[in-house]
Amino acid sequence: MFGIIGLVGAVMAGAAADMFMGLKADPGHDADDDAEAAPEGTEGETQDSQGDLLDEVRFDGMPRSSDIPEPPDPAENVVGTDGDDRLATGDGDDTLSGGDGTDILVARDGDNRVMGDGGQDYLYSGDGRDTLFGGDGDDALYAGGGDDRLFGGTGNDQMYGQMGDDTLRGGVGDDSLIGGAGQDRLHGQGGKDWLSGDDGDDRLFGGRGADTLDGGAGNDTLFGGEDRAVDYLNGGRGEDVLHVGAKDVATGGDGADTFILGEGVSGHPATLMDFDPKTDVIEITHEPGHAPVVEVLDHETGQRIVVDGTDLAVLRGVSGFDAASIRLVSLHH
């Protein structure tokens, strides 16, 4: 099943990314809240999570289902024009290039390469090991089953890996990345990005800019970034590892989590929202040959960790935690 019905899923994925962008500024957001949220800006309705179509579906800024092209047979390499193109291929290992303009590109099953090039483009691929390039413009990229690679390029892009062990790279711009099922790697890179690992043991890298990272279900690893922009990290359900940078706000979520803090955070303290001394662990990394002096002192909202006389982190709602419980880890170069 493909054609119109297949790309409806891409439309829905883009709307989901829009919906979650509003969570960036909420340091208390929990992954369980996502299940209660509902997208806005729809016309018509869908039947189930597989994207079966009951009526026309539309989200703001996305193409109508009636605009989705049907694939020719056969079609291996398709190149668009400088205008607004609607291109599709059949099954097989195909290449689509949209060129300039607002393009709709649909690749069926196979190991495909889909390139939006210039303009605001909508890219979809079916099952197989696909590579999708958004190019310039605010693009929407939606991959089907398989271990796919998605590159947003320049612009504020929306990307969804769906099934498989996928790699998503947002590029330049304020991007929204959803890994889907599988063990995914998400890289926000530049801009104010929103990353969701969804199901599976995922690795999320915020990069530069004020990012929001949500691991979802699974044992995830989150890296906020080494800059001093305020990142929001939420491990979600599972035993997660959160690498917390300067000024970051971190929530482990359900499960026994590990919060890793570096000495570079000193003077720009991070905030740990739900640290539980009974189940969670704090690690502090330091340069070889330098054993930092660590103290845990009272704070108006809980306790604070002080390293060599400088605040490193605030532990919200925590009492009775002591420095002896903190792991010190020497970095090896």
- Note the pLDDT tens digit of each residue in 18-73: 433 333 334 344 434 433 332 333 232 322 322 322 232 233 445 544 455 565 55
DSSP-derived secondary structure for 100-147: SSS-EEEE-SSS-EEE--SSS-EEEE-SSS-EEE--SSS-EEE--SSS
Check residue 69 and give its pLDDT.
59
Check residue 198 and give its pLDDT.
95
What is the Cα–Cα distance from 82 to 98, expressed in whole angstroms?
A: 8
User: Alpha-carbon dihedral of residues 305, 307, 313, 317, nearest 10 degrees?
Assistant: 0
Residue type at 112 in one-letter notation: N
What is the Cα–Cα distance from 60 to 128, expressed in whole angstroms?
A: 29
What is the Cα–Cα distance from 111 to 280, expressed in whole angstroms?
A: 42
Check residue 41 and give its pLDDT.
32
Q: Which parts of the chain register pLDDT below 70? A: 1-75, 264, 266, 333
Say if CB 56 and CB 50 are below 8 A apart.
no
- Note the pLDDT tens digit of each residue in 157-175: 999 999 999 999 999 999 9
What is the Cα–Cα distance from 93 to 104, expressed in whole angstroms?
A: 18
Check residue 172 and give its pLDDT.
96
Contacting residues for 205 by C-beta, under 8 A, at least 6 apart? 185, 186, 187, 188, 223, 225
Check residue 22 and give its pLDDT.
37
